[in-house]
Amino acid sequence: QMKIPLETLSITNCPLSDSDWNYLSRYPNATQLRHLELRGIKLTDFSLEPLQILLDSTATTLNNLNLKACGIMDSQLQAVLPSLSRCSQLVILSFHGNCLSMSTLRDLLLHTARLSQLSVELFPAPLESYDARGTIHPGRCSQPCAELTAIVRDFRQPNILVFCTVPCCLCGYKFLYNQGLIDCSCPTAA
């Protein structure tokens, strides 16, 4: 068994079993993690309790948390918000590519807004930014993203704070909202 504390753990685009997921939070050398990347790991069917335990144990060391495109749902994320708010050394936080409602994103930002070290924050645009067919509508996306940005600005001046949609089902482009700057090349978005 490894005696040196693990500083980086990156698991991307592969399936995890229940036992793999549960072992992650009990791994003895993970208490000094600085970088945790679980990008593309489908967590939809898992409890996020192991992640909550891992965040609690690394709250004073974790700098980078990447949970891009994990299929995290509103109810799952609510369970880890208190633990996430204690990660005082976070510099980079990536949640984009997940399907989260405006209400859950608001809660997420309220829990992370006081994390003064954060300089790169990447979040999904709220589900309310899409119509029933999954089409992006910049008008429907801009206002909620502006409201979410204002939440963070009430506590600190964000450096990079981006909300990003999944690719548009009609054209494949993404809509990006970066503190009022909008990047949408979708020719079909209304």
> Taking 90 as the threshold, does the pLDDT of residue 89 lie above it?
yes
Q: What are the beta bridge partners of residue 35? A: 8, 64
Q: Indicate the pLDDT class of residue 25, thresholds 50, 70 and 90.
A: confident
CA dihedral 60, 46, 114, 119 (to 10 degrees): 80
- Label residue 139 by pLDDT band (50, 70, 90): confident
Gyration radius (Cα) of the chain, Å: 17
Average pLDDT over residues 60-68: 97
Which fold does the domain 8-177 belong to in CATH? 3.80.10
Residue 23 Cα distances to 20, 69, 109, 122, angstroms: 5, 21, 29, 27
For residues 43, 167, 182 and 95, what is the CA-based torsion angle, rounded to 10 degrees?
Answer: 10
Tell me the CA end-to-end span of the chain in Å, nearest whole number.
Answer: 57
Q: Which residue has the tokens 């335990």?
A: 53
pTM for this model (two decimals): 0.91
C-alpha 178/C-alpha 146 separation (Å) is 9
Is the pLDDT confidence value at 176 over 70? yes
Token pair of 87 as six digits: 């990660």
The domain limits of the chain are 8-177
Which structure tokens are listed for 18?
Answer: 């229940």
